[in-house]
């Protein structure tokens, strides 16, 4: 099983939708563009958003176990995927890349 690099690539914020539909919340997301996490195999990295992990974990698991070429040629690098979290108000896009480094047991 391999480690998987997770990089925060972009963050969006749809204030029009927030104003119209969301109840006020104190803290929404603490990710930052350029932030990097390393998943040890399929394990969620410490400090990684639980909700975002729900959106990307199946892809991380597949990459960590040697899977590649999602959707028949979608990505230039077959051992990667661009996945966004499912927050409809503040979606975050993550680049997932399988590393050559073995996961720690």
- pLDDT tens-digit readout, 14-58: 999 999 999 988 777 889 999 999 999 989 999 999 999 999 999
Give 105's pLDDT tier (boundaries 50, 70, 90).
confident
Q: 3-state secondary structure string, 86-99?
A: CCCCCCEEEEEEEE
- Identify the pLDDT of residue 97: 98
SS3 category, 56: helix
CA distances from 83 to 20, 42, 101 (A): 26, 15, 22
d(CA 43, CA 75): 23
User: 23-45 in b/e burial notation, b at 16+ Cβ within 10 A?
Assistant: eeeeeebebeeebebebbbbbbb
d(CA 93, CA 10): 5
């Amino acid at each position: 099983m391999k480690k998987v690099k997770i990089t925060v690539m972009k963050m969006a914020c749809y204030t029009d939708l927030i104003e119209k539909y969301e109840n006020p919340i104190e803290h929404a997301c603490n990710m930052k563009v350029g932030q990097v996490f390393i998943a040890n195999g399929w394990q969620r990295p410490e400090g990684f958003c639980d909700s975002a992990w729900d959106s990307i974990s199946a892809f991380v698991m597949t990459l960590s176990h040697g899977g590649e070429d999602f959707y028949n040629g979608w990505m230039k690098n077959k051992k990667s995927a661009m996945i966004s979290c499912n927050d409809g108000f503040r979606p975050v896009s993550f680049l997932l890349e399988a590393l050559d480094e073995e996961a720690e047991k």
